[in-house]
Structure 1
Amino acid sequence: MALVKSSRSKKSTVLKIALFATGFSGIVAEYILSTLASYFIGNAILQFTLIVSIMLFSMGLGSRLSRSFDKNIIFYFVVSELVLSFLVCFSAIISYIIFGVTNNAWIVIYLLSIAIGLLIGVEIPFATRINNEYEELRFNISNILEKDYYGSLVGGLFFAFVGLPYLGLTYTPFVLGLINFGVSFWLFYTLRHQVNNKLQKVLYASYMGIGIIILSGLFFAKPLVLFGEQSKYKDKIVFSEQTKYQKIVITSWQEWHSLYINGNQQLSTFDEYLYHEPMVHSVLGMTPIKKNVLVLGGGDGCLVRELLKYPEIEQITLVDLDKKMIELGTSNSIFTTLNNNALNNSKVTTVAADAFNYMDRSEELYDVILVDLPDPNNVDLNKLYTKEFYNICYDKLQDYGSFITQSGSPYYATKAFYCVNKTLEAASFYTLPLHNQVLTLGEWG
């Protein structure tokens, strides 16, 4: 009797671990697809909302679909785990490849969300029915759901602090898929005696075949992703990295280089001076005292290069959210050549921090503040174009101090340009709209 109880307990435990792995990989698959949708389509808030909503709805459909299966539940549960492992592993690669050959990659991303949601939705009722043999109802349901939700928490933490910043969108899906793959095989092996011999052979062959495909995909993942990504840019990609905050890409054409963040061009070495010189020299020329200068953003170092042309400047502080961008500005040969090694100058201090939080906590007063940030297309950036942020900046300026910010294109985004102007006025600034023609970007303000 003790042996029977021990065996039942072991089977139930393995089943719960499988549900934990499903929750772990499922939630991260949502985040991966949401991030990819934001990268390919834009509008991060909308994409995260749609992907998560679609996947939760699909889980409901999957739960309803599970009613149709009344025999060989263990077999179908293992099959769904296998398919889930495959889809999670290849979600990013499939999206990148489709994006490389068509502009309709968003359809594939949404279809993958539906498929993964359906599989997770099917698995939870299957697991509950299987575990019904090992635990009474009140423990069964709570334990199954509990492990799935706990897995989701761990998965979210893994994606935020390990997967995205260290493994990127190329390898994070494979780590998750392989974990799910391994746990599902352990579950199948533990419960194999409850599956008839014919279906056992099918599953053994399936594990071998899918395992080989996953390992092959892992080996070719980087070139496949690069193929899909390269199609997004007309020039050759010489650097590509997904950081915790953004996708940074550098392309090359002849002797010129371009910097892209989340697919949007930030500068070209061909004509970046048409942006950076007016931004620095216009505001510095209006400021009587310029000893202590603050730059928010501008991790490429070009603004600092121009600032160092003023010998009276004693201290320059550059604050950029992304540590990787600062590293590129300080050590990448493309940027150190472009910015004349400005970020390594003894007058310059670089800080990796959120600009809003940095300004809110800073007790220092500055003579000049320059804000060189991407357009406000997500929550983190939106707050840096608000009256609240401009009020903080106003309070951190000397009485004679000056402030300047990039404000988009007055030609392509006229309303946004004048919205920035009105917001600055609402924060008590006296404003002067300024724009210049940048050849690679167009009219810029």
Structure 2
Amino acid sequence: MRTTNGVTADGKAAIAWARLLLVTCTFLTGACGLVLEYIQATVAAFILGNAIEQWAVVIGLMLFMMGIGSKAQRFVIGDKNLVQAFIGIEITLALVGAWSPLSIYAAYAYMANHFMLVQYGFIMCIGFLIGLEIPVVTRINRDYTCELKINLDYILSADYFGSLAGALFFAFVLLRYVPLTESSFIAATLNFVPAMLAFVYFYRQGRIQRIGGLLVASLLVFASLVTGYTYNRDWNIKLEQYLYDDRIVYSNTTRYQHLVVTHNPTLDEYRFYINGHIQYSTTDEARYHESLVHPAMQVAASRKKVLILGGGDGMTLREVLKYKDVQSVDLVDLDPDMVRLSATHPVLRQLNGGAFDDARVRVVDALGVETGEGYDLFQENGKQTDEKLPDVEKVARLNVINIDADKFLTHAKQPYDTIFIDLPDPSTIELNKLYTKGFYSKVRRLLTDGGAVAVQATSPFFARESYWCISRTVAAAGLNTVNYHVNVESFGDWGFVLATKSLKKGYVEKRMAEMSLDGINTSFLTAEVFRAACVFGKDLMQVKHDEINTVMHPVLTYYYLKEDWQYD
């Protein structure tokens, strides 16, 4: 047989195939390792909140344990057992990584005070196993690549390229379309497949002598992955129930958020949650939504054209449509599934008064926002036609736009008479940008001279620094502000900021004093209640900070996460 430098052609082919296998394994395990890191950080953020802090701690701890694993491998793995060790590491990592989210959720459900021991135990274990991978596969590849620099080139570049692939796969596929408990089983397969490829190849090459134990372990892990992938959604729902006091009647993870509806049969109370945070209760949501909408509608010089940022539940829209002079409403909510749920779920539809009847959810190009393609909204007026059918009348022209609120404001050109900012609390950096000076400056640009803006601004009791930071930031954008707050039993004392563009404070206060809700069907708010809501106790106005919130200096999220929410 022809040889070159003492190596036969068959030998060269075997070396090339071995290199390709090891590079492929490294690429896949690199992708899996990063995905598992991200899953652990996301689970921690979902349970504990404070995403930036959790991601920093989790990634930092996993990198530390990777260093420990890299150092430990030279003491615990001998040169004669490298292939078996690699396969064992991969199937163990697949098993641990796959089951970690479900196990952490179970620990939080059954041992809430100590679940972090389980959580950080998994994080450290996964980091340690990832740390073992690269040195071991590099040592194996040494037998097929003589030069150290070429060996490192093959292995490290494959690992880094795999990491990028894993990051993109997690961000644009798993995070958007698959529950975390299922993502972990998908990611674990990225570890299990190369382990099995290595098993088959190196066994045929005679580098694995005793396969009994390894084969049994591989079969058990495979069965575990199939079982977990098949039943994880059912188990996830059962475990999730322990996170809520009342029975879950709806649970769904959309592309953007996790939605849950619970029901208390004794009180006949429904509660709606986004990412574990309560958004409203059927027993008192009117207190919140009436307080958000009617003061601004009363103060504004005109109410013809209305913009709602957020409010995908339809409650704010319900209150706006109580005014007969409203001609058009643009509702901007990022999540189309949120609007669809509110338009079709029997309980939510009853709550919002069918505000989305015949709603057509339209996805708008972020770089070309147009709002002239809405549809006429008709509602029953309590009368009957000649055919004894319910009579309907046009209420307003409604346009539901699924786009990020900040992008909408950047590209929208039509002015609005009233603007309602009904967005989730600034608990993450992603939400923080919707509470910045730049964001409110865009709002001001779209507001008519006699227009009014109402902002939900968290709790001045539980989150005092956050509330006044929002108020300062609105004022820093060039808007005149009036502060008020009401008690909403489900989540306590809640604050709002009423702002105008050119109406002076004295005029606004005069309009507030003359405010009349005659002819407006409210269950809570009266003119007297609103005037009282503008009064704050001395303690609620005492703050330690005076910064405004900006994109590059997001102090609001820091305040919010450090507030005394434990009293809520």
TM-score (normalised: structure 2): 0.76
The question of whether the paired residues in 1 share the 8 Å contact of 2:332 and 2:402 is answered with yes
Match for residue 443 of structure 2?
393
Which fold has the larger relative contact order, with Cα–Cα distance below 8 Å and residues 6 or more apart in sequence? Answer: 1
Identify if the C-alpha distance between structure 1 residues 74 and 409 changes in structure 2 by more than 3 Å, giving closer, same or farther.
Answer: same
How far apart, in 2, do the equivalents of 1:388 and 1:42 lie?
25
Match for residue 42 of structure 2?
35
Moved more, 29-38 or 336-345: 336-345
Q: Does 1:313 align with 2:326?
A: yes
Secondary structure of residue in 1 paired with 2:60: helix
Match for residue 105 of structure 2?
96
Match for residue 161 of structure 1?
172
Q: Does 1:275 align with 2:282?
A: no
The question of whether the paired residues in 2 share the 8 Å contact of 1:168 and 1:243 is answered with no
In structure 1, give the amino acid aligned to 2:318. R
Secondary structure of residue in 2 paired with 1:62: helix
Secondary structure of residue in 2 paired with 1:431: strand
The question of whether the paired residues in 2 share the 8 Å contact of 1:295 and 1:370 is answered with yes
In structure 1, give the amino acid aligned to 2:46. Y
Deviations 1:3-25 (A, max 9, x none): 11111211221111111111111
The question of whether the paired residues in 1 share the 8 Å contact of 2:84 and 2:208 is answered with no
In structure 1, give the amino acid aligned to 2:104. S
Q: Does 1:262 align with 2:275?
A: yes
Secondary structure of residue in 2 paired with 1:252: strand
Identify if the C-alpha distance between structure 1 residues 243 and 53 changes in structure 2 by more than 3 Å, giving closer, same or farther.
Answer: farther
The Cα shift of 1:194 comes to 4.1
**2:130 aligns with one of 120, 132, 138:** 120
How far apart, in 2, do the equivalents of 1:139 and 1:159 lie?
30
The question of whether the paired residues in 2 share the 8 Å contact of 1:100 and 1:227 is answered with no
**2:53 aligns with one of 34, 46, 49:** 46
The question of whether the paired residues in 1 share the 8 Å contact of 2:29 and 2:190 is answered with no
Q: Does 1:173 align with 2:158?
A: no
Q: Percent identity?
A: 36
Q: Does 1:108 align with 2:121?
A: no
How far apart, in 1, do the equivalents of 2:59 and 2:256 lie?
20
Match for residue 504 of structure 2?
none
Match for residue 385 of structure 2?
none
- In our comparison, the structure showing a higher alpha carbon Rg is 2
Match for residue 363 of structure 1?
413
Q: Does 1:146 align with 2:157?
A: yes
**1:131 aligns with one of 114, 127, 141:** 141
Deviations 1:312-355 (A, max 9, x none): 11111111122221222223333222112212363221111111
How far apart, in 2, do the equivalents of 1:314 and 1:259 lie?
30
How far apart, in 2, do the equivalents of 1:368 and 1:105 lie?
47
Match for residue 517 of structure 2?
none
The question of whether the paired residues in 2 share the 8 Å contact of 1:98 and 1:228 is answered with no
Identify if the C-alpha distance between structure 1 residues 106 and 318 changes in structure 2 by more than 3 Å, giving closer, same or farther.
Answer: farther
How far apart, in 1, do the equivalents of 2:454 and 2:116 lie?
37
**1:423 aligns with one of 469, 473, 479:** 473
Runs (5+) with no aligned partner, structure 2? 1-7, 360-375, 378-396, 496-568
Alignment of 1:205-244 (within 5 A): 205-244=216-255
How far apart, in 1, do the equivalents of 2:313 and 2:44 lie?
26
Q: Report the aligned-residue RMSD.
A: 1.5
How far apart, in 2, do the equivalents of 1:47 and 1:111 lie?
15
In structure 2, give the amino acid aligned to 1:75. Q
How far apart, in 2, do the equivalents of 1:380 and 1:208 lie?
43
In structure 1, give the amino acid aligned to 2:289. H
Q: Does 1:70 align with 2:78?
A: yes
How far apart, in 2, do the equivalents of 1:168 and 1:154 lie?
19
Secondary structure of residue in 2 paired with 1:435: strand
Secondary structure of residue in 2 paired with 1:141: helix
**1:6 aligns with one of 10, 13, 17:** 13
In structure 1, give the amino acid aligned to 2:256. Y
Moved more, 376-385 or 215-224: 215-224
How far apart, in 2, do the equivalents of 1:32 and 1:241 lie?
18
In structure 2, give the amino acid aligned to 1:108. V
The question of whether the paired residues in 1 share the 8 Å contact of 2:83 and 2:208 is answered with no
Higher helix share: 1
Match for residue 32 of structure 2?
25
Identify if the C-alpha distance between structure 1 residues 196 and 186 changes in structure 2 by more than 3 Å, giving closer, same or farther.
Answer: closer
Secondary structure of residue in 2 paired with 1:248: strand
In structure 1, give the amino acid aligned to 2:270. H
In structure 2, give the amino acid aligned to 1:138. K
